[in-house]
């Protein structure tokens, strides 16, 4: 037997002069063979360093022990940190992870979903793209018995478990902080109006303004395209307008970075000319100059919860009677980009 030869149950059977089926039953812990025979087979399997063939096991159990993960971009700090949480839990449970990217394109999301499904994944975890309005490709997976778990950007209509954060509270708290710093003219930069996170963060922003008796200006609520040129044009137009806001709340990390870039090009100072706060999970935020006030999310924990919900559904092999939505809290990390040192504005109501 060569050094590269994979030990099989046939090798064990030949060594002990017993049938392959006897070895197979012994390795499964069957009690329909003699105790002495079972113990001898287990000992020889250990001596020969026998390892079960994972492909053969997957064919037998109709499971590959592989889950698919779809994110917008792996380079996105939010996505990469969430993937780390997914992988940590999945690996602990004996599952491997296949990762794909939509690059914020609906068509690419659909194509890559089908590619993942063709790899016989046991389930899928996804945060949908900025363009995604139709989730028929995900419903197709579910109809085929492949469970789906959504996180961050989710679709309420889809029958699936979901992991989200309290986007409303995070946005409300960040807007309130800006107001309490003395900023009354606050713009909100966001993405696709069809996404739940967009709607919840926009509502938090509006309600905070209302709480403090401030007017919501439609021209200061800007839904940006997710391509870089489109974002830069939207931010530049806002900052060059005669009625320029004194502060900006951005709903995604990339918009905060674009704001800093355009403000530098226009020789505007943060926060002296315009203050900035926004949703961001980039560890670099605390090293920027000025440091960036950020609504941060428990990304690693989000990934772990998503993986746990998916793998539990895979293992139980049952369609849930009710689907779970786990909502986690955000944290407002106050830094230099929003600190004005001005007299706070008092709320008009508790």
Of 215, 218, 265, residue with least CA distance to 239: 265
pLDDT (tens digit, 9 = 90+) per residue, 98-108? 999 999 999 99
State the pLDDT at residue 5. 52
Q: Which residue has the higher pLDDT, 328 or 34?
A: 328
In angstroms, rounded to a whole number, what is the distance separating the alpha carbons of residues 274 and 293?
13
Domain ranges of the chain: 9-52, 61-165+298-328, 167-297+332-338
In three-state secondary structure terms, 204 is: helix
pLDDT (tens digit, 9 = 90+) per residue, 120-137? 899 999 999 999 999 999
Of 149, 151, 171, 169, residue with least CA distance to 159: 149
pLDDT higher than 50, residue 343 = no
Q: Are 299 and 232 in contact (CB under 8 A)?
A: no
Residue % of the chain over a pLDDT of 70:
91
74-105: burial string, b at 16+ Cβ within 10 Å, e else: eebbbbbbbbebbbebbeeeebebebbbbebb
In angstroms, rounded to a whole number, what is the distance separating the alpha carbons of residues 220 and 229?
19
Q: Which residue spans within the chain are E strands per DSSP?
A: 66-71, 96-101, 123-126, 148-151, 161-165, 186-190, 221-223, 247-250, 275-279, 293-296, 325-328, 331-333
pTM for this predicted structure: 0.79
What average pLDDT does the structure give for the chain? 89
- If you classify domain 9-52 with CATH, what class do you get? mainly alpha
In angstroms, rounded to a whole number, what is the distance separating the alpha carbons of residues 44 and 37?
11
Q: Which residue has the higher pLDDT, 298 or 57?
A: 298
Q: Are 292 and 285 in contact (CB under 8 A)?
A: yes
Pick the CATH number of 167-297+332-338 from 3.40.630.10, 3.40.50.2300, 3.40.605.10, 3.40.50.300: 3.40.50.2300
Two domains, one topology: 61-165+298-328 and 167-297+332-338: yes
pLDDT (tens digit, 9 = 90+) per residue, 239-264? 999 999 999 999 999 999 999 999 99
State the pLDDT at residue 348. 41
| Lowest mean per-residue pLDDT among 13-27, 113-127, 299-313 | 13-27
Does the domain spanning 61-165+298-328 belong to CATH 3.90.1150.10?
A: no
């Amino acid at each position: 037997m060569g050094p590269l030869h994979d030990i099989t149950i046939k090798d064990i059977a030949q060594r002990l002069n017993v049938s392959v089926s006897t070895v197979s039953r012994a390795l499964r812990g069957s009690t329909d063979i003699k105790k002495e025979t079972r113990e001898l087979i287990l000992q020889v399997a250990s001596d020969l360093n026998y390892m079960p063939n994972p492909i053969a096991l997957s064919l037998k159990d109709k499971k590959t022990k592989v889950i698919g993960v779809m994110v917008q971009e792996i380079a996105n700090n939010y996505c990469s940190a969430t993937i780390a949480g997914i992988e940590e839990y999945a690996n602990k449970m004996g599952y491997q992870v296949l990762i794909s990217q939509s690059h914020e394109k609906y068509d690419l999301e659909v194509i890559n979903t089908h590619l993942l499904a063709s790899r016989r994944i046991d389930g899928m975890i996804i945060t949908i793209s900025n363009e995604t309005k139709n989730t028929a490709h995900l419903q197709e997976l579910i109809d085929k018995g492949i469970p789906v778990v959504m996180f961050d950007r989710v679709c309420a209509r889809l029958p699936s478990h979901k992991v989200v954060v309290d986007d409303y509270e995070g946005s409300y708290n960040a807007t309130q902080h800006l107001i309490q710093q003395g900023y009354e003219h606050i713009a909100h930069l966001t993405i696709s109006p069809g996404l739940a996170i967009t709607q919840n963060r926009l509502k938090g922003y509006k309600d905070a303004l209302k709480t403090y008796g401030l007017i919501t200006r439609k021209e200061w609520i800007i839904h940006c395209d997710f391509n870089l040129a489109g974002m830069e044009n939207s931010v530049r137009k806002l900052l060059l307008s005669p009625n320029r806001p004194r502060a900006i709340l951005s709903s995604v990390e990339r918009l905060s970075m674009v704001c800093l870039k355009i403000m530098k090009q226009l020789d505007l100072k943060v926060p002296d000319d315009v203050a900035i706060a926004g949703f961001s999970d980039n560890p670099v935020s605390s090293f920027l100059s000025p440091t960036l006030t950020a609504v941060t999310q428990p990304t690693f924990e989000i990934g772990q919860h998503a993986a746990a919900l998916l793998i539990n559904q895979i293992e139980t092999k049952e369609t849930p009677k009710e689907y779970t939505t786990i909502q986690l809290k955000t944290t407002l990390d106050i830094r230099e980009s929003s600190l004005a040192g001005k007299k706070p504005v008092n709320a008009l109501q508790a």
